[in-house]
């Protein structure tokens, strides 16, 4: 649950709320940029740490790649991808690849 | 046995483990508590205890927001979804879905026809409200200060857009009062803390200063890799050897000392502290949880709906509370591995990946299986 997922900013959509398109291992979703410092907004190519659909902070590319490796080491990479794929309720189609955890 | 070669930078890790051995006083028994559930998970997954000398004991603190939520709160949330005349959709993060309530988990309620949906962001719960004007969408919010700002910002959006068919059932908790309750508890004798990683990105490091100043215990905010945790232990041991107690930040690459001002502002706008809140295992702790301010009453599930407010104790044999406080190890609970397993969890510590019982079960038992295979070979 305490996943901080690194993502690369693809674009920033002006307006309120400020949303940004991020890319996480090839998956693109919109995240809310409202928790970032408004006078230091990310630009395309910057990296952010994402938690439950909100960008929490800007980080360097080096730290972003390390964070991705940390998630893999923790065995949380799949969970992170499932979370990202679920942003925006993208999972509601018949071809959805997001599954609920089996129980 | 977790081999050091499997880690990144195995040489640095070996050197750090040696440094730890150099710094300890062999006559002393050290007790360090990691508060954050993510650290508990990492410690088990990486088998860090095997790399530490025997006189360093790692105690698992109550840093798993799913684990510390009393069953009565889950019952209350599900009661809102079930009993109102107007259709209500119960939305929550995935790790809430299998947590047992008195009459079943949210997923089991879904199987019985209650409209229960997984969301991965509170803003997606709000999106469901926008897309389903005929239903009321309730977001069952959990989490520490890492997650509360996102809920806060979502509520600000809901208010700004005038979305009326949305409310939040707020179970956000705050980390500092939990640490205070642990330190006040007569059962605990602790020497230092490994500070939470991601909570600190929001609150910064300053809120921990009283632990060093008033309680005279070191606290080092740590990252999640094996090297991060081992380095944090080195930093703690250096302080103890020097008779110091201060707050240090090992996770500088992610955690700013001042925290996230925008996140703290959003929380202050929307939330206020409850006078008290019940924590599984720790009882009632004052000023330890958040509720919506009066200015957001319309979006507060507990004010929109009749909430039973029933207090439910855990099944008597389950010792969740003692494991949460660090008084018992998971395997010392009578139900561990027998009636209570990840497949059939009795308590939340076995459901959540951050819960110490689930972590112990996954990694320790796997390790023991591997060891027995090796010794049989």
Average pLDDT, chain B: 90
Rounded mean pLDDT, A48-76? 92
Rounded CA gap, B82 and B113, in Å? 9
**Half-sphere exposure in the Cβ direction for B255 (13 Å, CA):** 26
Q: Is A35 a member of any domain?
A: yes
Q: Do A100 and B119 touch (CB under 8 A)?
A: no
Q: Do A17 and B153 touch (CB under 8 A)?
A: yes
Q: Does B200 touch chain A (CB under 8 A)?
A: no
pLDDT of residue B267: 98
pLDDT of residue A91: 54
Between A18 and B2, where is the model more confident?
A18
Q: Is A96 a member of any domain?
A: no
To probe the interface with B, which of A7, A35, A40, A67 has the most B CB atoms within 10 Å?
Answer: A35
Closest chain B CA to residue A17: B157
Rounded mean pLDDT, B242-265? 96
Closest CA to A36 of A6, A57, A19, A64: A57
Q: Is A51 a member of any domain?
A: yes
**B97 contacts on A by Cβ (under 8 Å):** 100-101
Closest chain B CA to residue A62: B253
Q: Does B317 touch chain A (CB under 8 A)?
A: no
pLDDT of residue B283: 86
Nearest to A2 among B8, B153, B198 (CB): B198
pLDDT of residue B115: 95
pLDDT of residue B3: 45
Q: Is A97 a member of any domain?
A: no
Rounded CA gap, A65 and B190, in Å? 35
pLDDT tens digit sequence for B315-348: 777 888 888 877 888 899 999 999 999 888 888 7
Q: Which two tokens stand for residue A59?
A: 């980080």
Counting DSSP H helices and E strands in chain A, the numbers are: 2, 5
Q: Is A21 a member of any domain?
A: yes
Between B377 and B323, where is the model more confident?
B323
Q: Is A63 a member of any domain?
A: yes
CB A98 within 8 A of CB A82: yes
CATH number for A49: 2.30.30.140
Closest CA to B166 of B84, B110, B95, B90: B90
- Confidence band of A99 (pLDDT split at 50, 70, 90): very low
Packing angle of the helix pair B148-161, B261-270 (nearest 10 deg) = 60
Hey, which residues does B247 pair with through a beta bridge?
B219
pLDDT of residue B141: 98
Rounded mean pLDDT, B153-157? 97
pLDDT of residue A2: 67
Q: Which of the four CATH numbers 3.30.930.10, 3.30.365.10, 3.40.50.11750, 2.40.50.140 does domain B1-303 have?
A: 3.40.50.11750
- Confidence band of B7 (pLDDT split at 50, 70, 90): low
Q: Does B116 touch chain A (CB under 8 A)?
A: no
Q: Which of B93-97, B235-239, B264-268 is predicted with the least confidence, judged by mean pLDDT?
A: B93-97
Nearest to A52 among B42, B150, B254 (CB): B150
- Which residue segment(s) compose the domain that A28 sits in? 5-87
Q: Do B120 and A49 touch (CB under 8 A)?
A: no
Nearest to A35 among B46, B120, B263 (CB): B263
The domain tally of chain A equals 1
- Confidence band of B119 (pLDDT split at 50, 70, 90): very high
All structural domains of chain B with their residue ranges: 1-303, 320-376
Closest chain B CA to residue A80: B120
Would you say residue A102 has pLDDT above 60?
Answer: no
Q: Which two tokens stand for residue B277?
A: 């809140």
Q: What is the ipTM of this complex?
A: 0.89
**A22 contacts on B by Cβ (under 8 Å):** none
């Amino acid at each position: 649950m305490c996943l901080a997922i690194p993502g690369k900013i693809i674009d920033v959509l002006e307006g309120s709320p400020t949303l940004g398109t991020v890319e996480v291992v090839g998956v693109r979703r919109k995240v809310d940029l409202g928790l970032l410092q408004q006078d230091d907004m990310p630009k395309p190519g910057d990296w952010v740490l994402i938690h439950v659909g909100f960008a929490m902070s800007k980080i360097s590319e080096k730290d972003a790649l390390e964070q991705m490796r940390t998630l893999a080491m923790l065995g949380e990479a799949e969970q992170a991808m499932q979370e990202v794929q679920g942003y925006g309720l993208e999972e509601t189609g018949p071809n959805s690849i997001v599954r609920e955890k089996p129980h | 046995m977790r081999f050091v070669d499997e880690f990144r930078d195995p040489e640095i890790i070996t050197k750090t483990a040696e440094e730890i051995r150099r710094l300890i006083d062999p006559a002393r028994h050290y007790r360090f508590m990691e508060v954050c559930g993510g650290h508990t998970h990492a410690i088990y997954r990486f088998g860090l205890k095997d790399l530490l000398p025997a006189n360093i004991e790692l105690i698992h603190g109550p840093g798993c927001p799913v684990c510390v939520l009393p069953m009565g709160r889950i019952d209350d949330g599900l009661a809102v979804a079930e009993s109102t005349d107007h259709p209500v959709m119960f939305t929550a993060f995935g790790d809430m879905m299998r947590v047992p309530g008195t009459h079943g988990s949210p997923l089991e309620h879904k199987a019985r026809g209650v409209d229960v949906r997984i969301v991965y962001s509170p803003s997606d719960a709000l999106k469901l409200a926008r897309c389903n004007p005929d239903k009321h969408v309730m977001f069952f919010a959990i989490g520490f200060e890492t997650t509360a700002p996102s809920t806060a910002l979502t509520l600000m959006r809901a208010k700004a857009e005038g979305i009326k068919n949305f409310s939040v059932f707020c179970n956000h908790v705050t980390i500092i009062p939990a640490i205070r309750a642990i330190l006040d508890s007569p059962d605990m004798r602790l020497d230092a803390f490994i500070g939470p990683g991601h909570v600190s990105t929001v609150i910064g490091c300053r809120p921990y200063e009283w632990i060093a100043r008033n309680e005279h215990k070191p606290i080092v905010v740590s990252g999640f890799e094996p090297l991060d945790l081992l380095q944090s232990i080195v930093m703690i041991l250096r302080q103890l050897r020097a008779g110091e107690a201060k707050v240090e930040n090992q996770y500088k690459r992610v955690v700013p000392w001042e925290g996230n001002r925008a996140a703290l502002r959003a929380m202050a706008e929307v939330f206020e502290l409850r006078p008290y809140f019940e924590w599984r295992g720790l009882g009632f702790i004052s000023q330890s949880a958040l509720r919506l301010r009066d200015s957001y009453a319309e979006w507060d599930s507990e004010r929109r709906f009749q909430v039973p407010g029933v207090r439910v104790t855990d099944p008597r044999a389950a010792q969740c509370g003692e494991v949460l406080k660090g008084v018992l190890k998971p395997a010392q609970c009578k139900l561990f591995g027998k009636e209570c397993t990840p497949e059939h969890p009795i308590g939340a510590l076995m459901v959540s990946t951050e819960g110490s019982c689930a972590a112990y079960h996954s990694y320790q038992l796997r390790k023991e299986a591997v060891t027995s295979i090796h010794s049989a070979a």
